Amino acid sequence: MKSTLQHFLLGLCLVCFLLPSSLHAHAPDQSYLYLRIYKEAIGGRFEMTAKDMNTAMGLNLDKKLSMESIRPHLKTIQNYLISRSSFEADGKTFSVRFTEPTILNLEETDDFARFHFDLDGVEVVPDGLDIGYNVVFDKNPIHRGLLIVEYNWKAGIVDNEALMSNIYGPDDTQQHLSLKDASILKGFIALVKLGVWHIWIGLDHILFIIALILPAVVRRKKNTLTGANEWVPVDSFKAAFWYIIKIITFFTIAHSITLALASLNIINLPSRIVESIIALSIALAALHNITEIFKSKEWIIAFGFGLFHGFGFASVLGEKGLSGDYMVLSLLGFNVGVELGQVLIICMVFPFLFLIRKQNFYSSIIKYGSVILIFISIYWFIERGFEVDLPLGAYFWKAYNAVFG
């Protein structure tokens, strides 16, 4: 049993350190394809950050872009986008003709290069387009391409910069876009999917939830002989379940408030501060499992730090200042997705915890698991707060091979 527990805890540590290279906190990892649909013409633009262009094409662009930095690579980028996208309707392929690019300069996040284009060969706008989008996926599988129909009078869409129509990924690079039907429901569903996806790649959010629910199936009880607190398993599923409901409800309320405030540009905090505090939130929740900080008031941790997790989620919608007539629906859809993703995580973890709550090693899982979470959160805090990359992942692989080889 001891050997199994060692494998579990070291395995958890390895996963948490090694996954951040492929999974991210609330980094959007998104590029955009905008379309404007007119009576006899279709135009649009691709939008990418320097990071994504560097990843896709091996460039060396700085995250703060300018036309001077883009110009020498313009042909390379345009050829890449043409080769990685397609627009077809009724068996006819429309070619992309680029116009003058522009730069979207942002203060707190990476700039976006905008590659404007018109589709040649459009005489009458079709009822639908088959659109291919395969940008960056081969180099970064968690990347997503968001298709936004910015203007389509025929479908009742005017000045939309928030509601996504399609979300492209490595396994879904060819999709159909209806140009005659209102796409509000489709866009809402797309935002729900986006919310679920960003929970599943948000490892720090997942670890914060786990830190909060580890004590859900046990209760602290003072040992009358030693005077020390001990973990005692709960008797019923109901008691543990209501604990989870209370904690997650406060967390949900908190991050919903700040998600809305930040996405609507009412309150904005620097991402460096937000992500650093999110890292520390894991440490405080885990420390509370080791030594009680807020006696019977775990909801304070869930609510207080939930506010900062909401600012982190807002980076997905608010990094480009997305706005428009559908922003409220976008916020609602994305938040529904976040909650669904959160519920799925709890449904996977909680029953397992309930089943093993009476095992002697469960208190060790809480104690040593929380120590590992504290160490990970400090590691992330240093990386985010000081903007450095720490190379501990490779050392942990060596340690694993040495111990369990």
Compute the distance between CA of residue 49 and CA of residue 29 in angstroms, rounded to an integer.
9
Of 294, 168, 165, nearest to 220 by C-alpha is 294
Longest distance between any two alpha carbons in the chain, whole Å: 87
Q: What is the pLDDT of residue 19?
A: 44
- Which are the contacts of 347, defined by CB distance < 8 A and separation ≥ 6? none
Q: How many CB atoms are closer than 10 A to CB 29?
A: 21
The torsion region of residue 58 among left (phi > 0), alpha (psi -120 to 50) and beta comes to left
Task: Answer yes or no: are the C-beta atoms of 146 and 62 closer than 8 Å.
Answer: no
Q: CA 316 → CA 25, 39, 197, 262, 311, distances in Å?
A: 11, 32, 11, 11, 10
Compute the distance between CA of residue 174 and CA of residue 190 in angstroms, rounded to an integer.
15
Q: What is the pLDDT of residue 26?
A: 44
Give SS3 for 82. helix
Instruction: For the chain, give every domain's residue range.
Output: 2-24+202-404, 30-183
Q: What's the length of the chain? A: 405
Compute the distance between CA of residue 240 and CA of residue 234 in angstroms, rounded to an integer.
7
Which runs of consecutive H residues, i.e. helices, occur in 295-361?
298-318, 327-356
Of 44, 46, 181, 188, nearest to 126 by C-alpha is 181
Q: Tens-digit pLDDT profile for the chain (405 aa)?
A: 445 444 444 454 444 444 443 344 445 689 999 999 988 899 999 999 999 999 999 999 998 999 999 999 999 999 999 999 999 999 999 999 999 999 999 877 789 999 999 999 998 889 899 999 999 999 999 999 999 999 887 776 767 887 889 999 999 999 999 887 655 677 788 889 888 988 888 888 999 999 999 999 999 887 766 666 789 999 989 889 898 999 999 999 999 999 989 888 888 888 889 999 999 999 999 999 998 888 778 889 999 999 999 998 887 776 655 666 677 888 888 999 999 999 999 999 999 999 999 998 999 999 999 999 999 999 889 988 887 877 765 565 566 556 654
Distance of CA 233 to the CA centre of its chain: 34
Query: pTM for the full model?
Result: 0.74
- Which are the contacts of 208, defined by CB distance < 8 A and separation ≥ 6? 278, 281, 282, 285, 305, 309
Task: Answer yes or no: are the C-beta atoms of 80 and 60 closer than 8 Å.
Answer: no
Place of tokens 């320097």: 50
- Which are the contacts of 199, defined by CB distance < 8 A and separation ≥ 6? 205, 206, 337, 338, 341, 342, 345
